[in-house]
Chains A and B, each alone.
Chain A
Amino acid sequence: EVQLVDSGGGLVQPGGSLRLSCSASGFTFSTYAMHWVRQAPGKGLEYVSGISSKGGSTYYADSVKGRFTIFRDDSKNTLYLQMSSLRTEDTAVYYCVKAEGNNYLGNWFDPWGQGTLVTVSS
């Protein structure tokens, strides 16, 4: 069974940093693009960042570009999101997703992790 387990969320002050992790199992992690999608409390889904298989290409939404870094450790089957200069508007549940489809960064997202809550507040 394909499984994604998100962790690392918590309470952080504005301007602070946090690293999220996504532990993957049940598939050959290194051959799939992976992404992060977030959902602010009571709101819809917002794409955050993605990384191709083997990490050669990355993509960031404008809202996080220059502040967030996505990377992966294929030896540990783990995806990461390093978040810095956090703002109150970054408060959200962050979901790790596995990409499917023939684009080098994937197309649609399946499955989704359970999510990890990041709260940016003083």
Chain B
Amino acid sequence: EIVVTQSPTTLSVSPGERATLSCRASQSVSSNLAWYHQKPGQAPSLLFYGASTRATGVPARFTGSGSGTEFTLTISSLQSEDFAVYYCQQYLNWPYTFGQGTKLEIK
């Protein structure tokens, strides 16, 4: 099973600043990685697939990058609606596995 590890667990950032979230896979997953975010009390929703392809409706301030074992989600200028929990998921091998999440909170 591919283990996916996210860091940090919690990230405190001020609105308008840049946030960088990391995701690491225990073995290469090439670009078979997706990002989701989950706002309080809501279901998760897709942000990126293929490591860097934005899902429909995702604002340009969000950028996904990386391949192999190291991936990054960058939010260039945080808006209030961006404070949420972010998960990455590998889909190279079954079982598909999720990281434990990074909580992005207001500083």
Task: Point out residues on A near B: beta carbons under 8 Å.
Answer: 44-47, 59, 61-62, 95, 100-101, 103, 105, 107-115
Question: How distant is the Cα of A110 from the Cα of B37 in the complex, in angstroms?
Answer: 12
Please give, as numbers and ranges, the residues of chain A lying within 8 Å of B94 by CB-CB distance: 59, 105
Question: How distant is the Cα of A24 from the Cα of B55 in the complex, in angstroms?
Answer: 20
Distance from B49 Cβ to chain A, minimum over Cβ atoms (Å)? 4
Question: How distant is the Cα of A95 from the Cα of B49 in the complex, in angstroms?
Answer: 19
Which residue in B91, B96, B98 is a CB contact (below 8 Å) of A44? Answer: B98
Task: Point out residues on B near A: beta carbons under 8 Å.
Answer: 32, 34, 36, 43-46, 49, 55, 87, 89, 91, 94-101
Which residue in B36, B43, B49 is a CB contact (below 8 Å) of A100? Answer: B49
Which residue in B32, B43, B97, B99 is a CB contact (below 8 Å) of A114? Answer: B43
Please give, as numbers and ranges, the residues of chain B lying within 8 Å of A61 by CB-CB distance: 95
Please give, as numbers and ranges, the residues of chain B lying within 8 Å of A112 by CB-CB distance: 43-45
- CB <8 Å contact, B89 and A108: yes
Closest residue of chain A to B48 (Cβ to Cβ) is A108
- CB <8 Å contact, A111 and B91: no
20 cross-chain CB contacts under 8 A: A44-B87, A44-B99, A44-B100, A44-B101, A45-B36, A46-B98, A47-B96, A59-B94, A62-B95, A100-B49, A105-B94, A107-B32, A107-B34, A108-B49, A109-B34, A109-B89, A111-B45, A111-B46, A112-B45, A114-B43
Which residue in A46, A62, A108, A115 is a CB contact (below 8 Å) of B43? Answer: A115
Most chain B CB inside 10 Å of its own CB: which residue of A61, A107, A108, A109: A108
Please give, as numbers and ranges, the residues of chain A lying within 8 Å of B91 by CB-CB distance: 101, 103, 107-108
Please give, as numbers and ranges, the residues of chain A lying within 8 Å of B99 by CB-CB distance: 44
Q: A103-B91, A110-B55 are in contact. Are A45 and B49 (CB under 8 A)?
A: no
Which residue in B45, B46, B55, B87 is a CB contact (below 8 Å) of A45? Answer: B87
Given contacts A61-B95, A95-B44, 17 further A-B contacts (CB under 8 A): A44-B98, A44-B99, A44-B101, A45-B36, A45-B98, A59-B95, A62-B95, A107-B32, A107-B34, A109-B36, A109-B46, A110-B45, A110-B46, A111-B45, A112-B43, A112-B45, A113-B43
